[in-house]
Structures are given as C-alpha cells and as structure tokens.
Amino acid sequence: MNESEFDKIFALMEVSFPESERRTYGGQKELMADPHYRLITESDNNNQIVAFLAAWEFPLFRFVEHIAVNPIMRGSGVGGKMMTAYLEELKKPVLLEVEHPDTELAQRRIGFYERLGFHLNPFEYVQPPLQKGQDNLPLKLMSYPQLLTDEEFILYRETLYRNVYKIKD
C-alpha cells in the first residue's frame, strides 16, 4: 500500500469514527508492519477507495477493528458485501466491538451486524484507549457465527488486549 492510499483510508477513518475509536495517524501507520493486521479495500470504477475493512487475524479467531464506507456510498450494500466476503474466507470466529444499544444509531448498527449473522454477547467489555490521554470505552462484543462461551470471551479478550491494544499483563 502506498502513502496516498493509506492517506485516503485514514481520511475515511477520520470521518467514520470518533477520535475515541481510532488511533493517531502515526499509530495507525505503525500497524501496517504488524503481521496480524490486515487492511482490505474496495474501489469504485475510477479506482478510488470507497470502503475498507481493517482486521486482526489470530490463530483462533479474527477481529474486525474498523469497517467504513465513504459517506456518499453508505446504504449501497458495499459494507455488507465486504463483510460477507470476509466472513466466508475462513471458518474462524469473527469478533467486533459495538456501542451499547442505547441510541437509535447504535441499535441500527447492531441490527446490520445481526443480519450478517453476528450475535451480541452479554459480557461486560471495555475498549482500552487507542490514544494517550483517553479513557476506557465501554463497548459490547459481537461474535460470528455464534455467541461466545465464558472461556472464549476471556481468552479472546486477553488476546485483543495484548495484541491490539498493547496492554501488558
């Protein structure tokens, strides 16, 4: 991926996610060297990036950290097609974080993932800060193709905290 493509993806990330749910430009760029991190893009007929999916791939499961579609393309089915293709690649559980379902937007987002086969897990979960000076962010975990067991939740959370959020034991 060249610098220009990365800049376009980061710009889309900035308009799609609040600051508490994304890294700094430098922090995001550093991830490109991590062997667990994968960035998938979707381009239009003019070869312009219109969507991306950023995921972490581990031996036991995969974690979708971000999926975003250009605001003018939202509702066109691009995001659902990208996620469906990603889910069909490997037969491994897939996790993602969502906000608590206490707003209409959060409920719509959860509904989108449920239509793709995800399940909202009941566990208490927080996203550690992605940038210095930020607080923990209370979120919920969704999983595909089924709900997590207590043991899976503990193991997967530990993997996320250690590898994605760089929290040392």
User: How confident is the prediction for the chain on average, in pLDDT?
Assistant: 94
pLDDT at 169 over 70: no
Complete DSSP assignment for 11-46: HHHHHHS-GGGS--HHHHHHGGG-TTEEEEEEE-TT
The superfamily (CATH) of domain 3-164 is: Gcn5-related N-acetyltransferase (GNAT) (3.40.630.30)
Taking only the tens place, the pLDDT of each residue in 101-146 is 999 999 999 999 999 999 999 999 999 999 888 999 999 999 999 9
pTM of the model: 0.93
152 class by beta-carbon count within 10 Å (0-12 exposed, 13-18 middle, 19+ buried): middle
pLDDT in tens, 5-25: 999 999 999 999 999 899 999
3-state helix, strand, coil in the chain (%, to 5): 40, 25, 35
**Domain locations in the chain as residue ranges:** 3-164
